[in-house]
């Protein structure tokens, strides 16, 4: 991969902060700092695109199914042997979401 030289301008405050990052060993140079920012932004953007695509997929998948708190409680109790505190926490979660629309997004979509 080739490199391209660019000239950029920082405020004094930004320059001071970047210098501190370099002095404290977070980065070895201005170039490394800027490259890290670009990589982070590329990753953030890719994540936004993936979430957006998953939301669109969910929207076009049809009408939402509504959360059934009792079915949730039964499924959790059947698949996990929960102690009383956990039972209480899951009941509270289930009751709080009763009759809310459920959006199903697969982690594979993200």
Q: Give 25-81 pLDDT, tens digit per residue.
A: 999 999 999 999 999 999 999 999 998 888 888 888 887 777 777 777 777 777 766
Whether residue 76 contacts residue 97, with contact meaning beta carbons closer than 8 Å, is answered with no
- Mention every residue, 6+ apart, whose C-beta is less than 8 A from residue 110: 47, 50, 51, 54
Give the residue-averaged pLDDT of 4-11.
92
Q: Nearest 5 degrees, angle CA 37-CA 42-CA 43?
A: 100
């Amino acid at each position: 991969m080739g490199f391209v030289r660019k000239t950029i301008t920082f405020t004094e405050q930004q320059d001071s902060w970047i210098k501190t990052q370099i002095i404290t060993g977070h980065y070895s140079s201005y170039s490394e700092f800027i490259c890290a920012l670009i990589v982070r932004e590329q990753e953030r953007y890719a994540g936004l695109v993936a979430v957006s695509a998953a939301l669109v997929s969910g929207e076009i998948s049809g009408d939402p199914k509504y959360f059934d708190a009792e079915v949730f409680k039964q499924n959790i109790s059947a698949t996990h042997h929960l102690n009383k505190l956990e039972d209480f926490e899951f009941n509270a979660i289930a009751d709080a979401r009763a009759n809310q629309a459920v959006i199903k997004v697969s982690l594979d979509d993200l």
